[in-house]
Amino acid sequence: MVEASTARDGAPRTAAGESVYDRLRHLIVTLTLAPGTAINRAELQATFGLSSTPVRDALTRLGEEGLVEIVPQSGTRVSLIDIAAARQAQFLRRAVEQEAVRLVAALPDKDFEPELRDLLDAQTLRAAAGDVEGFDALDRAFHRRLLELAGAPDLHALVRARCGHIDRIRRLHLPVRGKAEEVVRDHARILKAIVAGNAVKAQARVRDHLARSLAYVETLRAAHPGYFRD
């Protein structure tokens, strides 16, 4: 029997469909499937060894997130990076994570500090090794853990579903020299303010950190003009 989970809208999701969705989303967000790339459903079915239904369901979800464009009788392609959608995602992340760090900074017991410092140390090592994939995974883990510590773990999935466009901008920027080190410094400053119990400073650090996601968007757009749309 195929295992199933339940979507936020109450509809069942099969494990196979979840697997296709997660894999395709990863390929899109990491730019392995570049903006504008055509998606062949028959090839996906063959690659995953699945019927058309889980592949269709995965593409539908990605379409709802704005990461693919499905044109009836025409085809499916990876969407171009939408700068307006990225700005809205930035707004959402800043609102959610500023509140999260306020709550975490107010916690009387800071026994999570060693765990987060280990994450920062691992990020430093990945940055030095030039491991963009590993660094990016640790970056996301740091932010996800803050939401968990704030008692709002489910918000990670909500924010993730809205951040595909800004995540692709981040991925374009991450290999630029000095960017990974900048991220680690920002995370260290956020953690320092949290451990000190300074909620106001922690919020300011998060606000500044997340503002950098779009600070260089025009430079990135000039370097990759075929990837973007307004």
Q: What's residue 72's pLDDT?
A: 81
pLDDT at 207 over 60: yes
Residues 6+ apart with CB under 8 A from 195: 110, 113
pLDDT at 16 over 90: no
Assigned CATH for 4-79: 1.10.10.10
Q: What's residue 15's pLDDT?
A: 79
Q: What's residue 7's pLDDT?
A: 46
Distance, CA of 206 to CA of 192 (rounded, Å):
12
Distance, CA of 185 to CA of 174 (rounded, Å):
14
Distance, CA of 42 to CA of 169 (rounded, Å):
29
Report strand pairing: 75-78 vs 4-6: unpaired
- Token pair of 174 as six digits: 């991450």
Distance, CA of 196 to CA of 127 (rounded, Å):
26
The whole-model pTM stands at 0.88
% of the chain with per-residue pLDDT over 70: 94
Q: Mean pLDDT, to the nearest integer, of 53-57?
A: 90
The number of residues making up the chain comes to 230
Distance, CA of 141 to CA of 133 (rounded, Å):
12
Q: Mean pLDDT, to the nearest integer, of 174-186?
A: 95
Per-residue model confidence as pLDDT tens digits over 101-143: 999 999 999 999 999 999 999 999 999 999 999 999 999 999 9
Q: Reading across the β-sheet that carries 68-71, which strands appear in turn? A: 38-39, 75-78, 68-71
Options 1.20.120.530, 1.25.40.10, 3.30.450.80, 3.40.50.2300; CATH for 82-224 is: 1.20.120.530
Quickly list H helices, the chain: 15-29, 41-48, 52-64, 83-105, 113-129, 132-149, 155-162, 164-173, 179-195, 199-211, 217-223
Sorted by where each begins, the domain ranges of the chain are 4-79, 82-224
Q: Which of 129, 40, 124 is nearest to 77 (CA)?
A: 40
CA angle 22-216-35, nearest 5°?
A: 40
Q: What's residue 74's pLDDT?
A: 79
Q: What's residue 13's pLDDT?
A: 56
Distance, CA of 174 to CA of 156 (rounded, Å):
21
Q: What's residue 5's pLDDT?
A: 43
